[in-house]
């Protein structure tokens, strides 16, 4: 037989529980407002993210079929061959540029150094569209700055900045719109937008532009917020309808956003 309590006792206890949870919310808010405590908490969170990422990578490796691995190996080998050819060409061009600059007495602008950061939490959205990083206003982070991985592959943009943390909107987010260019014989420009899922779409490509699958898509820097030349992904499909004013292309990322925990924040080009 369950003992019943008088209503007043139940109400008193319900009030206590409510006060406890309001206290927890207040404590959490204060924790994030005091920089020293927020940084300690961020370290704990960053550790949890690394644990989750490693477990996830292990799970994928465990469940991935041998056939799928072989297919991926073939793709990687093909990409390596292409990159090797391009590397030779780039090295030659770099040499020529250096010589020409020396002849012209050209002085290069100092490269702005990035600010290294770690992912401390990921959005609980259905698709990963945002991550929280451990650098904020106190570290000099500005809204709109580009966040990259591997010193040149665009990961996302700073959406909002708090005292000790910032929210990064990933390029895969449906709210993400980045002016981009397709590298090739003629530099085709367009706008890369996120969609639900990992595939991006590049829109507003002129009908006469020539592009094909495998072309590399980079930032064009036309918005003045993101520097030029950051890698976005590879064109996987081009859709051109004759009656439409523009053609569009599907773009695949070169990385899996879930697997990255260490990032680099680049200052806006104006700060260079």
Distances (CA, A) of 248 to 27, 53, 205, 211, 228: 49, 33, 6, 10, 21
Looking at 38, 158, 167, 192, which residue binds other proteins (CB under 8 A)?
167
Closer to other proteins at the Cβ: 19 or 272? 19
16 forms part of the interface with other proteins (CB under 8 A): yes
143 forms part of the interface with other proteins (CB under 8 A): no
244 forms part of the interface with other proteins (CB under 8 A): no
Structure tokens at 83: 């990159």
Looking at 95, 98, 196, 213, which residue binds other proteins (CB under 8 A)?
196
The helices-and-strands tally (H runs, E runs) of the chain is: 3, 12
258 forms part of the interface with other proteins (CB under 8 A): yes
Please name the helix (run of DSSP H) or strand (run of DSSP E) that holds residue 205, with its range, or none: strand 199-206
121 forms part of the interface with other proteins (CB under 8 A): yes
Taking the complex as a whole, the smallest distance from the CB of residue 143 to other proteins amounts, in Å, to 12
CB atoms < 10 A from the CB of 96, how many?
10
Angle between helices 7-33 and 35-63 (to 10 degrees): 90
Closer to other proteins at the Cβ: 116 or 196? 196
Q: Output b/e per residue, 234-260; b: 16+ Cβ within 10 A.
A: bbeebeeeeeeeebbbbbebbeebbeb
Residues near other proteins (CB under 8 A), total? 54
The two beta strands, 246-253 and 130-133, are: unpaired
How big is the chain by its Cα radius of gyration, in Å? 24
Taking the complex as a whole, the smallest distance from the CB of residue 36 to other proteins amounts, in Å, to 18
43 forms part of the interface with other proteins (CB under 8 A): no
- Region near other proteins per CB under 8 A, out of 21-29, 90-98, 147-155, 202-210: 21-29
Looking at 197, 214, 229, 271, which residue binds other proteins (CB under 8 A)?
197
263 forms part of the interface with other proteins (CB under 8 A): no
Looking at 68, 92, 95, 175, which residue binds other proteins (CB under 8 A)?
175
Looking at 25, 75, 112, 244, which residue binds other proteins (CB under 8 A)?
25
106 forms part of the interface with other proteins (CB under 8 A): no
The two beta strands, 153-161 and 166-170, are: antiparallel
Contacts of residue 216, defined as CB under 8 A and 6 or more positions apart, other chains included, come to: 182, 183, 231, 233, 234, 235
Contacts of residue 42, defined as CB under 8 A and 6 or more positions apart, other chains included, come to: 118, 120, 134, 164, 165
Return d(Cα 251, Cα 42) in angstroms, integer. Answer: 33
97 forms part of the interface with other proteins (CB under 8 A): no
Closer to other proteins at the Cβ: 231 or 232? 232
Closer to other proteins at the Cβ: 47 or 206? 47
Binding site for other proteins (CB under 8 A): 2-6, 9-10, 13-14, 16-18, 20-21, 23-25, 27-29, 32, 44-45, 47-49, 51-53, 55-56, 59-60, 120-128, 130, 132, 159-160, 167, 174-175, 193, 195-197, 258
């Amino acid at each position: 037989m369950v003992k019943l309590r008088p209503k007043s006792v139940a109400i008193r206890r319900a009030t206590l529980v409510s006060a406890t949870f309001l206290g927890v919310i207040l404590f959490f808010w204060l924790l994030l407002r005091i920089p020293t405590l927020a940084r300690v908490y961020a370290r704990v969170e960053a550790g949890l993210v690394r644990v989750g990422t490693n477990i996830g990578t292990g799970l994928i490796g465990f469940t991935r079929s041998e056939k799928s691995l072989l297919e991926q190996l073939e793709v990687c080998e093909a990409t390596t061959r292409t990159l090797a050819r391009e590397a030779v060409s780039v090295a030659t061009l770099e040499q020529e540029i250096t010589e020409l600059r020396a002849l012209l007495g050209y002085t290069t602008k100092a490269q702005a150094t990035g600010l290294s950061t770690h992912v401390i939490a990921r959005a609980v959205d259905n698709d990963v569209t945002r991550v929280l990083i451990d650098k904020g206003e106190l570290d000099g982070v500005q809204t709109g700055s580009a966040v990259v991985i591997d010193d040149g592959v665009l990961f996302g943009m700073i959406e909002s900045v708090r005292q000790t943390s910032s929210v990064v909107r990933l390029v895969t987010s449906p709210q993400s719109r980045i002016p981009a260019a397709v590298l090739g014989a003629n530099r085709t420009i367009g706008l890369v937008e996120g969609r639900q899922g990992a595939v991006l779409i590049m829109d507003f490509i002129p009908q006469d532009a020539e592009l094909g699958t495998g072309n590399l898509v980079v930032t064009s820097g036309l918005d003045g917020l993101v520097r030029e030349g950051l890698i976005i992904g590879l064109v996987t499909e081009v859709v051109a309808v004759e009656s439409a004013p523009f053609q569009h292309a599907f773009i695949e990322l070169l990385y899996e956003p879930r697997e990255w925990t260490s990032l680099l924040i680049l200052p806006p080009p104006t700060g260079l």
